[in-house]
Structure 1
Amino acid sequence: MYADDTKVADSGRVTSASGVKHLTAALAGANELRLVVTDGGDGTNSDHADWAAPVLTC
């Protein structure tokens, strides 16, 4: 997760065996939140993310 251009949270590499990852990040003062998925290190086949029930609070 990026707040503007600053990485504020990272789940690390996640596989089907990893289970659920919960991320929390401070976003105060940011204008943009980006949720970024990258290559898992084994090619780009099947790389994806499921952002289930994200919550933003003020």
Structure 2
Amino acid sequence: MTTPTPSTGRPPRPRRALRTRTQRRAAAGHFVRGLAYGTGLAATSLLSYWIEKHL
């Protein structure tokens, strides 16, 4: 016989909740990547503008 799994005090998560959590994590990663690209683009643009005006 198999031993029952210990109870954690809450019911097991349905598959849908797990998929939703995975999708949220992926969306958050894409959002952070977009922020990084946008920040880099803004910094590069400002630097090139400053160089153009001061040379």
**TM-score, length basis structure 2:** 0.15
Structure number with higher helix proportion: 2
**TM-score, length basis structure 1:** 0.15
Which structure: larger Rg? Answer: 2
Structure number with higher strand proportion: 1
More RCO (CA 8 Å, sep 6+): 1
